[in-house]
Amino acid sequence: MPLTRWLAEYAWLPDHAEPTADVLIEAEDGRITAVTPLVGGGAPATGVEVLRDAVRLPGLTLPGLANAHSHAFHRALRGRTHGGRGDFWTWRDRMYDVAARLDPDSYLALARAAYAEMALAGITCVGEFHYLHHGPDGQPYADPNAMSAALVEAAAHAGIRLTLLDACYLTATVDGAPLAGPQRRFGDGDALRWAERVGAFRPENDHTRVGAAIHSVRAVPADQLATVANLADRAGVPLHVHLSEQPAENDACRALHGCTPTRLLADHGVLGPGTTAVHATHPTSADLALLGESRTGICLCPTTERDLADGIGPARQMAEAGSPLSLGSDSHAVVDLFEEARAVELDERLRTRRRGHFSPVELLTAATVAGHAALGWADAGRLAVGDRADLVTVRLDSARTAGVPPVGAFFAATAADVSHVVVDGRVVVADGRHLTVDVPAELRAAIGEVTA
């Protein structure tokens, strides 16, 4: 890949409290090779002539955003679950209806469109929490990883990187009720057979990494948690787990095991710096200490947590306890990492009735470098020499951002303000349009197929 230069009107550089004006960014073979602020707003140290070849990026250029928690097929539910009262559990029934209808071809189409929507929103890497493994009757496809392969192909078409977090899902409840109905296609029988299937899947490309997931303490019996954790640890891959999303999960775990889900995971070796707990909406103070002391990351998904009436997790306490925070769009009620980021701050304001819990840099970190790290891409999420050349440019002249200082973009911009996206040095979005996918048309077609 030849040398490429971009001239950013503003760029948010590592260890800077606010964006820097007039920055020349150079990349070759998908890696950033130079980051040069212009001298006094004039010529770069390397000479004026280099600017002639530079692609100009009006607005604020950020590192690529990382969506650390996605269920791609949930995109089909947007706008379809708001017709009455209910809670997470009634929403889940609607989700199972969609899950029952997907096959590798329809999943490829839906995920391709969903991932392309993410690219339009400035997301350069997604963590797909994947448990839709087998056929509707629970029987494996001829290729037991056909659904995984569909997701890998979808991400390639959309132009973003993928961490496939293959989820172990064995039981329906904390006390071990068997999988039934649409849930049957999630299960592999036991953790060893899950590990065998996951171990056989080795996509040969440079945009995918395969990680592991424990769906929840509802879905993996206590005596099999360590099997999943040990596989992830030996392979050196990320391990993610849904944790304490609902009070009912906490209550059921206490009734059976005499402890919280967090304590159960700790006792079976699941927590640690390679693990990310998703949601953690209802932790005890002891849970927060366990998560923080073990350096377990926490992925917050505020737009889904509010859409499902899950509650508001104690984000500031999580960070102060020592847990790195990342962000996810989860059910894709909204695909907008700017909204997820500011919701972390704004939800804390609602919870505490005080303002000013997170700085813009902390929110940017959660949306970028921390998210990439949680997905196993430690070389992404910063505009720094040696890192992957992921650039996301946000307009500062839209109706939402006009007159807003660049440092305030996280509290003003939306996904609709993303104008330019580069992933590993390749342009994926230009002038607000995806270069290879007609996103609205493909979303309509793919969703129509599984909801008709």
Residue with tokens 């929110």: 363
Residues in contact with 320: Cβ distance below 8 Å, sequence separation at least 6, in sequence order = 292
Residues in contact with 299: Cβ distance below 8 Å, sequence separation at least 6, in sequence order = 68, 69, 127, 240, 276, 277, 278, 279, 325, 326, 327, 328, 371, 374
DSSP 185: G
Q: Is the pLDDT of residue 48 over 60?
A: no
Residue 280 sits at φ, ψ, to 5 deg, of 50, 45
Which residue out of 287, 307, 330, 390 is catalytically annotated?
330
pLDDT of residue 227: 97
Give the length of the chain.
Answer: 452
The tens digit of pLDDT for each residue in 388-441 reads 999 999 999 999 999 999 999 889 999 999 999 999 999 999 999 999 999 999
DSSP 244: S
Nearest partner of 288 among 328, 254, 321, judged by Cα? 321
| 329/70 Cα distance (integer angstroms) | 6
Contact indicator for 98, 77 with CB cutoff of 8 Å? yes
Tokens for 143?
A: 């290729």
Residue with tokens 């998904």: 301
Is 330 among the residues known to form the active site?
Answer: yes
pLDDT of residue 49: 61
The pLDDT mean for the chain works out to 95
| pLDDT level of residue 87 (50, 70, 90 thresholds) | confident
pLDDT of residue 39: 63
Given the DSSP bridges, would you call strands 31-37 and 325-327 parallel, antiparallel or unpaired? unpaired
The average pLDDT across 135-146 equals: 96
Contact indicator for 151, 162 with CB cutoff of 8 Å? yes
Which residue out of 130, 134, 215, 279 is catalytically annotated?
279
| 172/385 Cα distance (integer angstroms) | 47
pLDDT of residue 2: 80
| 65/421 Cα distance (integer angstroms) | 10
| 58/423 Cα distance (integer angstroms) | 18
Residue 134 sits at φ, ψ, to 5 deg, of -115, -175
Tokens for 173?
A: 């409840």
Give me the domains of the chain, ranges plus CATH numbers: 4-63+381-434 (2.30.40.10), 65-375 (3.20.20.140)
| Range in 33-37, 92-96, 381-385, 400-404 the model is least confident about | 92-96
Share of the chain above pLDDT 90, in %: 90
The average pLDDT across 216-234 equals: 97
**For the chain, how long is the longest CA-to-CA vector?**
70
Q: Listing from the earlier edge strand, what are the strands of the sheet with 275-279?
A: 65-70, 123-130, 161-168, 208-214, 239-243, 275-279, 297-300, 325-327
Contact indicator for 399, 421 with CB cutoff of 8 Å? no
pLDDT of residue 85: 73
The tens digit of pLDDT for each residue in 250-296 reads 999 999 999 999 999 999 999 999 999 999 999 999 999 999 999 99
Residues in contact with 209: Cβ distance below 8 Å, sequence separation at least 6, in sequence order = 161, 162, 163, 164, 237, 238, 375, 376, 377
Residue 53 sits at φ, ψ, to 5 deg, of -95, -5
Q: Is the pLDDT of residue 452 over 60?
A: yes
Nearest partner of 370 among 336, 338, 323, judged by Cα? 323
Q: Is the pLDDT of residue 42 over 50?
A: no
Residue 76 sits at φ, ψ, to 5 deg, of -70, -15
Is 347 among the residues known to form the active site?
Answer: no
Tokens for 55?
A: 């692609």
The alpha carbons of the chain give a radius of gyration, in whole angstroms, of 21
Tokens for 254?
A: 């206490």
| 397/392 Cα distance (integer angstroms) | 16
Where residue 403 falls (left for φ over 0; alpha for ψ -120 to 50; beta otherwise) is: left
The tens digit of pLDDT for each residue in 282-334 reads 999 999 999 999 999 999 999 999 999 999 999 999 999 999 999 999 999 99
